[in-house]
Structure 1
């Protein structure tokens, strides 16, 4: 990949991370002042983004069902997430078809949803964290923390 001048990457408002998650999990576009759109494989290597939509205890609180979506601007393919349930760490792939995500990010396609049923540690867990694992330049991105009750 060719080197990119530093100032070309300094303002990435058009990247997926520039999108805002509104209440209810809807996507809101970045402000119209976005100067430079990002295409898959952009050499600036922006951080991944997404939405950790739910974490619900099921099966008599022995498991947690997690769901959401994730995109990394460095690829059009599925991305991995690290889901932490208490002290237990799982790896989940965001590859489930999500037409709503494809409508908002057409260059990336629809295979960016995740849905998994994960075991809760025997000593219980009060929180679940979802972190999108970065591909290429950039950093991992913790989406959010959900409390279990």
Structure 2
């Protein structure tokens, strides 16, 4: 379980990250992770319709195990490639299921991943969000240490 801290809008936040593979053989492992998490980040591949179609089953599992105050996040990956899942379809699905929606791409860099973690942690910890950045190159969050990967679940905690 990778851990790290990040500055989230002026607050130091500690992350404990659990990455649960989406394959059916790992579903029993995932159930044990949900109980203590504050943020669930569910990822799918926008270039693969089957990846999107499998989300409903994962959402049911997450909703059954996530604490009621848990923050739910859906992240579409590979948005820079030819899409099979349209942006509006994914956004609508996320909204209907009570999930925040983001897209991230290895091509566009770490900024997308930073935004997912920072906004998710801010919501989980009731940290006010700043106004949108003035330019696309403005970063709102900075890592004190590097998380390894886009993840399935995170347990952020505010440090004083």
TM-score where L is the length of structure 2: 0.29
Q: Higher RCO, 1 or 2 (CA under 8 Å, sep at least 6)?
A: 2
Higher normalized helix content (fraction of residues): 2
TM-score where L is the length of structure 1: 0.30
Q: Which structure has the bigger radius of gyration?
A: 1
Higher normalized strand content (fraction of residues): 1
